[in-house]
Structure 1
Amino acid sequence: MSLLPALTGAHGDAPDAVRIGDDALSFADLAATSAALARRITGATAVAVTATSTVDTVVAVLAGIAAGVPVVPVPPDSGPAERDHILRDSGAELILDDEAARTDGSATWPDPTATDRPALILYTSGTTGPPKGVPIAGTAIAACLDGLADAWHWTPDDRLVHALPLYHVHGLVLGVLGALRTGSHLHHTGKPRPDLLAAAKGSLYFAVPTIWHRVAAAPDAARALRHARLLVSGSAALPAGVFTAIESLTGQAPVERYGMTETLITVATRADGHRRPGAVGIPIEGVETRLVHDDDDTAPGALEIRGSTVFAGYLGQPDATARAFTADGWFRTGDVATIDADGVHRIVGRASTDLIKTGGYRVGAGEIEDALLTHPAVREAAVLGRPDDDLGQRVVAYVVADGVSADSLIQHVATTLSAHKRPREVIFVAELPRNALGKVQKHRL
Structure 2
Amino acid sequence: MSLLPALQDPAGSPATREAVRFGEQSLGYGRLAAAADALATRIAQAGRVAVWATPAPETVVAVVAALRAGVPAVPLNPKTGERELAHIVSDSAPSTVLAAAGDVLPPALASLTRVDVDTAAAPQPSDASFPEPSPESPALIVYTSGTTGPPKGAVLPRRAIAATLDALEDAWQWTGDDVLVHALPLFHVHGLILGILGPLRRGGSVRHLGRFSTEGVARELESGGTMLFGVPTMYHRIAEALADPTASVGLTKALAGARLLVSGSAALPVHDHERIAAATGRRVIERYGMTETLMNTGVRADGEPRPGTVGGPLRGVELRLVEEDGSALTDPASIGEIQVRGPNLFTGYLNRPDATAAALTADGWFRTGDMATLDPDGYVRIVGRKATDLIKSGGYKIGAGEIENALLDHPGVREAAVTGEPDPDLGERIVAWVVPADPGSPPPAEELAGHVAAQLSPHKRPRTVRYLDALPRNDLGKIMKRSLHG
TM-score by length of 1: 0.96
5+ long unaligned stretches in structure 2: 102-115, 243-247
The corresponding residue for 2:107 is none
The corresponding residue for 1:2 is 2
Q: Is the 8 A contact 2:15 2:31 kept in 1?
A: no
- 1:176-191 alignment to 2 at 5 Å? 176-191=196-211
The corresponding residue for 1:120 is 140
Residue 109 of structure 1: CA displacement?
Answer: 6.3
Residue 380 of structure 1: CA displacement?
Answer: 1.9
Local SS of the residue matching 1:319: helix
The corresponding residue for 1:301 is 336
- Closer/same/farther in 2, CA of residues 32 and 114 from structure 1, 3 Å limit: farther
Aligned amino acid, residue 443 of structure 1? R
- Closer/same/farther in 2, CA of residues 104 and 254 from structure 1, 3 Å limit: closer
- 1:2-41 alignment to 2 at 5 Å? 2-7=2-7, 8-9=9-10, 10-41=12-43
Residue 225 of structure 1: CA displacement?
Answer: 2.1
Q: Does 1:429 align with 2:468?
A: yes
Q: Does 1:198 align with 2:198?
A: no
- Closer/same/farther in 2, CA of residues 104 and 419 from structure 1, 3 Å limit: closer
Q: Is the 8 A contact 1:160 1:179 kept in 2?
A: yes
- C-alpha separation in 2, matches of 1:419 and 1:325: 37
Identity of aligned residues (%): 54
Q: Does 1:267 align with 2:297?
A: yes
Q: Is the 8 A contact 1:280 1:344 kept in 2?
A: yes
The corresponding residue for 1:85 is 87
- 1:125-140 alignment to 2 at 5 Å? 125-140=145-160
Q: Is the 8 A contact 1:382 1:399 kept in 2?
A: yes
Q: Does 1:395 align with 2:430?
A: yes
Q: Does 1:163 align with 2:192?
A: no
Residue 222 of structure 1: CA displacement?
Answer: 2.7
- C-alpha separation in 1, matches of 2:263 and 2:290: 14
The corresponding residue for 1:292 is 322
The corresponding residue for 2:395 is 360
Residue 108 of structure 1: CA displacement?
Answer: 5.0
Q: Does 1:214 align with 2:230?
A: no
5+ long unaligned stretches in structure 1: none
The corresponding residue for 1:69 is 71
Local SS of the residue matching 1:384: strand
* Alignment deviations for residues 311-348 of structure 1 (CA, whole Å, 9 cap, x no partner): 12100101001110111110001111111111001111
* Alignment deviations for residues 341-377 of structure 1 (CA, whole Å, 9 cap, x no partner): 1100111111011111111211111121122223333
The corresponding residue for 1:374 is 409
Alignment match of 1:407 (pick from 413, 438, 446): 446
Q: Does 1:242 align with 2:245?
A: no
The corresponding residue for 2:366 is 331
TM-score by length of 2: 0.88
* Alignment deviations for residues 205-238 of structure 1 (CA, whole Å, 9 cap, x no partner): 1011111122222232531222111100011111
* Alignment deviations for residues 80-127 of structure 1 (CA, whole Å, 9 cap, x no partner): 111111111112000112121127756456574661101111000233
Alignment match of 2:165 (pick from 142, 145, 151): 145
Q: Is the 8 A contact 2:320 2:340 kept in 1?
A: yes
* Alignment deviations for residues 7-54 of structure 1 (CA, whole Å, 9 cap, x no partner): 123344545332122210111110111000001101222000110001
Aligned amino acid, residue 47 of structure 1? V
- C-alpha separation in 1, matches of 2:454 and 2:383: 20
Q: Is the 8 A contact 1:358 1:391 kept in 2?
A: yes
Tell which deviates more after alignment, 328-337 or 422-431. Answer: 422-431
Q: Does 1:278 align with 2:280?
A: no
- C-alpha separation in 1, matches of 2:134 and 2:209: 29
- C-alpha separation in 2, matches of 1:289 and 1:360: 27
Local SS of the residue matching 1:31: helix
Q: Does 1:417 align with 2:456?
A: yes
- C-alpha separation in 1, matches of 2:69 and 2:436: 52
- C-alpha separation in 1, matches of 2:169 and 2:67: 21
Tell which deviates more after alignment, 103-112 or 170-179. Answer: 103-112
* Alignment deviations for residues 378-426 of structure 1 (CA, whole Å, 9 cap, x no partner): 2321110001111111011112234532112111211222321111112
- C-alpha separation in 2, matches of 1:256 and 1:104: 37
Residue 276 of structure 1: CA displacement?
Answer: 2.1
Q: Is the 8 A contact 1:69 1:119 kept in 2?
A: yes
Tell which deviates more after alignment, 252-261 or 414-423. Answer: 414-423
CA RMSD of aligned residues (A): 1.7
Q: Is the 8 A contact 1:66 1:109 kept in 2?
A: no
- C-alpha separation in 1, matches of 2:146 and 2:458: 33
Aligned amino acid, residue 164 of structure 1? L
Local SS of the residue matching 1:235: coil
- C-alpha separation in 1, matches of 2:172 and 2:477: 23
- C-alpha separation in 2, matches of 1:279 and 1:233: 11
Q: Is the 8 A contact 1:222 1:249 kept in 2?
A: no
The corresponding residue for 2:118 is 102
Q: Is the 8 A contact 2:185 2:191 kept in 1?
A: yes
Residue 185 of structure 1: CA displacement?
Answer: 1.4
Alignment match of 2:48 (pick from 43, 46, 60): 46
Residue 303 of structure 1: CA displacement?
Answer: 0.8
How many residues are treated as equivalent by the alignment? Answer: 445
Aligned amino acid, residue 411 of structure 1? G
* Alignment deviations for residues 240-291 of structure 1 (CA, whole Å, 9 cap, x no partner): 2221222123220100111010000111111111112221111110101111
- C-alpha separation in 1, matches of 2:136 and 2:129: 18
